Structure formats: structure tokens, C-alpha cells
Chain A
Amino acid sequence: MNPATASLYELLKQVTGYIYPNEIEVHWGILVVVYPYLTGLVAGAFILASLVKVFNVKELQPVYRLSLLTALAFIIIAPLPLLLHLGHPERSYEIFLTPNFTSAMAMFGFVYAWYLMVVLLLEIWFTYRRDIIIWSQGEKSVMRWIHKVISLFSTDTSEKSVEFDKKAVKAITIIGIPSAFLLHGYVGFIFGSIKANPWWSSVLMPIVFLFSAIVSGIALVILLYMILTPLRGEKISIGCLDKMASYLFYAVIVDFSLELLDFIHRLYESEESIKILSELVMNRLFISLGVIQVMLGMLLPLGVMICIKLFRFDEELRKLLYFVSVILIQLGIFATRWNVVIGGQMFSKSFRGLTAYKMELTGFEGFFMTLVLLILPFIVLSILIKILPPWDRSVERSLGERIA
């Protein structure tokens, strides 16, 4: 017997009530929790970056490039958990070659390719083009060639070309915002469109996904900014931090309102599934939903941020509170993904019983693999930062010298 099947006997003991016999296996495990978490960070980080270019929020300039690189690093890793969870990853190319157009999942290839190729790579290229050319001129050997290749052997650093870059970036960002909405809204639609599952089936699902994405993305960039800036021996711009926290605050409020609306709506309508869903929330999801997602991940940071708005704490205390809040929010959003994906499979579609989920330690669907997948984007990000430093001022300096 295969070991995965053997472990199902263990789960059998934890089933309460009646479940259809095929339902014992939780089909979408931890890897499918990681996937929407990662794409959410992509969409959120990009939307934060676009605030700078489209809405001209000057305070956020210090994190503009960092946000873009973060989005790129995470989108490169995002499809990995999906690929690993497939029964036949070697056939995954079929999604691109013979997509079934009525399937939300089949659109994955197109949405992903569009977002990566048309939006992120182009925007980063236009943003960095002039800098890369200048960097490559002052470098030696490997790095020089890497930059030359990345710049696609462009050599024009004239004012006119830089002006064009700026226009292009603006245009791409304008296309990019709806694309970011599409990227994560679409992930929400994958769940929200399953009418067989009352925990998922909700028109609000794509919107809730989107706003929780924005929340997690902004929180991640704040965290990265707060860690990386002191590491480089620079001072954190409190103006930038306050502004980001402010956007985070509004995003959390919208996200919280949407989830509250969803909750009240379900409770008020009290459809056939309400009994089993209440049982699900009170038994299986009490810690991950009640405690981690709502209390620690949402209400506590929200309370902290309200306090920061109400009382003018001094800079150091504010930084500390922001730091704690964004970590809690990150934890909360991960719990949100868990509660949607795993929670939606822990009750039977007969509405008569609950099953259980036990994460393995090792193996593809295991805890260690999850850790690797969550750490990988940061490794990619550190490589990207090495190649495309988001805070390098040498370009401005060298330009200044040239003018002098």
C-alpha cells in the first residue's frame, strides 16, 4: 500500500459525523495554501509600487524599486507549489497547449504569463534601463556582461530616451494595476466559483482575496524595508514608513469589512450549510481562524494602528509597533489562506461531518517543503537586489559628476 493511503487510516479516527467515503483525503494541502499566499504578496507589492508612479505618492519613492523586485521574486516562485502538488507535473504544459477555456484554472498560464512578461519584467526593465547601462560601463567581467544582457544591449542614456522610459513605466503601471487585480482576483475566483462548496462559493471571494493580497504585500514591503535599510547602515525614512503604514491601515479596514460582511451575510441567510460551517469554525478552525486570523492577524494590528493614529507616539516606538504589526498581519494572512483552502475541505459536502488534515513533516506536501518554498522567494530577492540594487545612488552621483 502506498504510504499516503496508509496515513488515511489514521485520519479515519478523527472523522466526526458522516463524510462521503471519497472525502477522507484532503486533496489540496499546504502547497495550495502557499500558492495564493505567494501570489497575494506579488499583487500587493506591485500595487504599493504603482502608488508611486500612478498616484504620485512621493513619500513611497524609497520603496518603489524594492516593491517591484519583491513582486518579481515572489512571482518567480509562486507556480512552484502548484507544480509540486500536481499528480503529473510532467504534463503541466498541457495547461498552455490545450487549455479548457471554461476552466478558471486553465487561465492560470495566461494570467501568469501576462503579469510576468508584460507587466513586471517590462516595468522593471524600463525603470532600470538607464541605470543598468551606466552600471555596466563602470564594471568588470561577469557583472558587466550580466548588466549588458539585462539591458538587452541598449546603450542610449540620452534625456529623450529616459523621458520615454518614464512614460513607458507610467503606461505599464496603468495596465499593471488592473492586471494585479486580475492576478489575485482570479485566484479568488478559482475558489469562489465552486458551487459545490459553500465555504468557497461566494462572489466576494475574489475581492476578499484581492484586499488581503494588498494587505499582505504592503506589510511585506514594510518588513523588508525595516530590515534591509538598517542592514545597509542607512536611516529608515519615517515619512515613507508612516505613509506605507497608513495605506496598510486602510487596506486592513477594507479587508476586515469585507470579511465581516461575508460572515454576517452567511449567518443572516443561514442556508442549508450553516450548521456544518458553524461546526467547522468552532471545532476545526477555532485556532487558525478565531485566534490567529481574526484576533492576532487583524484586530490586534488594527488596534495598534488606530493607537498610532490617535496618539503621536515617538518615532522609535512607532517603528517598533509597525514592525510587530506587520509580522502579525503576515501571520494572519497566511492563516486566512489556510482557512480558505484547508477549511473548505474539512467538512463533508453531505453537510453531515468533518474530516481532518494532518500535515506531513517531510515529502512534497510536507512542512519542510513549505518552509523551503517560503524562503526561496527571499533568496531570489537577494539575488535580484545584488543584480539590480534598488537603492543604488551611484548613478545619480556619476550623473552629477558628469554635469559638473
Chain B
Amino acid sequence: MKRRKFIERSLVMLAQFGVMGGIFRRAKAELKDYDPSKHYYGMGIQINKCIGCGKCVEACKAENGVPKEPFFFRTWVERYVIKKDNGVTVQSIDPRIERSYEAFAEKDILRSFFVPKLCNQCENPPCVQVCPVGATFKTADGVILVDADRCIGCRYCIQACPYGARYLNPETETADKCTFCYHRITKGLLPACVEVCPTQARIFGDVKSNASPLARFKRMNKIHVLKPSLNTEPKVTYSDLDGEVR
């Protein structure tokens, strides 16, 4: 009986090692097959499709281990309410606190919409320019990343980002921000926020590709970027962007 159990367990363990080994080999092979110079990533956001459910925020926090407190976000969603008297109220919605937003009488509202925000993965990133040690850098596939082993935590990049997209991770004491889920996209997966969005308000893809949802988004919409006057040339583009959004 004992011997039988031993053999059974050994077989199970062998099988487990085999599967795990296979996974590791596959992951390795995928990274080896991945050629960053063949990609250049961007994101399109269709404001009219966003319903402000905040699933993207939740998914991002879970996927990337972003601290749970409401002061650290790689992506967030802003709710704009523009009233008939031209007053504008903006709130960053928190999916965990239901009905935490200010309510307005419908008759007072002129227009209202949600705007998902994230790192714009700028073509001319001011954060990369100012980093004293080169810890934040642009990859060949156009994503701005932070090397947490090199970052000295001076926070100059946080000051330089016009979009408030960066924060100092209180656990690592280094700068942190959206990576387009770099660990996923290099395996051919979508960023978590894109994957989870129920209305497909976020479209991820290769900016250079001619036939992709992102290319179609750019063909079918009038598109705009945030703070164009700063010449950062964001690779995150918006359709139906209201002039009140900054």
C-alpha cells in the first residue's frame, strides 16, 4: 500500500514538473521569439464608449500589484459633469465605493462623460528626459518603463509628467507607472485594462500596423491627444475628447 502510494505521488510530481518545465520553456521561447523592434505600441480610447464602471482600474491594480490605497494609480477614470451654468465638476471614480460621487439634477446637466486616463507613453517623454540616472527609459517598442533596481527615488520624473501618471510606490520607494502591461503584451496578450473593458472603450495595438483595431479606430474617428501644446506627442489617443478635459 505504502509503496503504491509512493509510486502514485512520484508520478504526480513528475507530471507536475513536466508541466511546469513546459510552461517555463514556453515563456522563455515566447520572450526569445519576441522582437521589440517589430512593434510600436499605442492605445486608442473611445470616450463615448466608457461607462465609468472602473473595472479597468481594478484589473490594473490586481494585475500589477499597485498599492490598494486611493493615492496610487496606473490608470484611473475621471467623471466630467458640465452643468448648464458652465460649472464643471470632475471626480476620479472609485469602483470600490458605490455612489461616492456627487449627484446632480438631470435638468442642470449640459453634458457628462467619463475619461479613462493612463500614462500617455509619450513619443517625447519629459520623464525620460529628466531622470538623472536613466532609470526610466523608452523601449524599442515605444513603451516607457522604470527600472526599479536603478531608480534612486528622486521623484523628478513625477514632477516632469504633465499628466499625473506617475506615483512613488510606497513599498519599493521607486517611481512607478503604467507599462501597457509590458509583461503581457510581449507575450501577445492585451493589457489588463483593455482585456477587462466591457464596452471595448480601450483599443490596444501597433501604431504602425495598417490593419488592426487601432488603425481602424484612427481611421474612423476624429482623434486628439491630451495637452498637445506641450509637444510630448502621446501615443494614447482619444476620440470624442471634450475641450474641458485636461
- Taken together as a complex, chains A and B put the C-alpha atoms of A2 and B170 apart, in Å, by 7
Partner of B166, one of A22, A85, A103, A352: A22
Chain B residues whose C-beta falls within 8 Å of the C-beta of A197 in the assembled complex: 159
Chain A residues whose C-beta falls within 8 Å of the C-beta of B150 in the assembled complex: 91, 94
Query: How many contacts between A and B, using CB within 8 angstroms?
Result: 134
Chain B residues whose C-beta falls within 8 Å of the C-beta of A349 in the assembled complex: 161-164, 246
Q: Is B151 an interface residue (CB 8 A)?
A: yes
Q: A350 touching B90 by the CB < 8 A rule? A: yes
Chain B residues whose C-beta falls within 8 Å of the C-beta of A352 in the assembled complex: 88, 90, 246
Partner of A106, one of B90, B132, B173: B132
Query: 25 A–B contact pairs at CB < 8 A?
Result: A2-B170, A5-B67, A5-B69, A8-B71, A12-B70, A19-B164, A20-B92, A21-B71, A21-B76, A23-B164, A27-B155, A86-B153, A91-B150, A94-B135, A94-B152, A100-B133, A103-B132, A108-B132, A190-B156, A193-B130, A194-B130, A196-B126, A196-B230, A350-B90, A350-B164
Q: B153 touching A88 by the CB < 8 A rule? A: yes
Query: Which of A91, A92, A348: most chain B Cβ within 10 A?
Result: A91
Chain A residues whose C-beta falls within 8 Å of the C-beta of B76 in the assembled complex: 20-21
Q: Is A295 an interface residue (CB 8 A)?
A: no
Partner of A87, one of B67, B71, B152, B160: B152
Sorting the interface of chain B by its residue count into under 10, 10 to 19, 20 to 34 or 35 or more gives: 35 or more
Partner of B134, one of A18, A98, A194: A98
**Closest CB in chain A relative to B96 CB, distance in Å:** 13
Q: Is A264 an interface residue (CB 8 A)?
A: no
Chain B residues whose C-beta falls within 8 Å of the C-beta of A262 in the assembled complex: none
Interface of chain B: mostly helix, strand, loop or mixed: loop
Q: A348 touching B164 by the CB < 8 A rule? A: yes
Query: Which of A21, A87, A348: most chain B Cβ within 10 A?
Result: A21
Of residues 77 to 117 in B, which have CB atoms within 8 Å of A's CB atoms?
78, 88-92, 117
Q: B168 touching A104 by the CB < 8 A rule? A: no
B interface residues (Cβ-Cβ under 8 A, vs A): 67, 69-73, 76, 78, 88-92, 117, 126, 128-135, 150-156, 158-168, 170-174, 230, 246
Q: A20 touching B164 by the CB < 8 A rule? A: yes
Q: Is A1 an interface residue (CB 8 A)?
A: yes
**Closest CB in chain A relative to B121 CB, distance in Å:** 16
**Closest CB in chain A relative to B78 CB, distance in Å:** 8
**Closest CB in chain B relative to A31 CB, distance in Å:** 11
Known pairs A18-B90, A86-B152; A196 contacts B71 (CB<8 A): no
**Closest CB in chain A relative to B73 CB, distance in Å:** 5
Query: Which of A1, A27, A104, A106: most chain B Cβ within 10 A?
Result: A27
Query: Which of A22, A89, A108: most chain B Cβ within 10 A?
Result: A22
Q: Is A105 an interface residue (CB 8 A)?
A: yes
Q: A196 touching B162 by the CB < 8 A rule? A: yes
Known pairs A18-B91, A21-B76, A350-B90; A88 contacts B173 (CB<8 A): yes
- Taken together as a complex, chains A and B put the C-alpha atoms of A306 and B132 apart, in Å, by 44
Query: Which of A5, A88, A108: most chain B Cβ within 10 A?
Result: A88
Chain A residues whose C-beta falls within 8 Å of the C-beta of B158 in the assembled complex: 22, 27
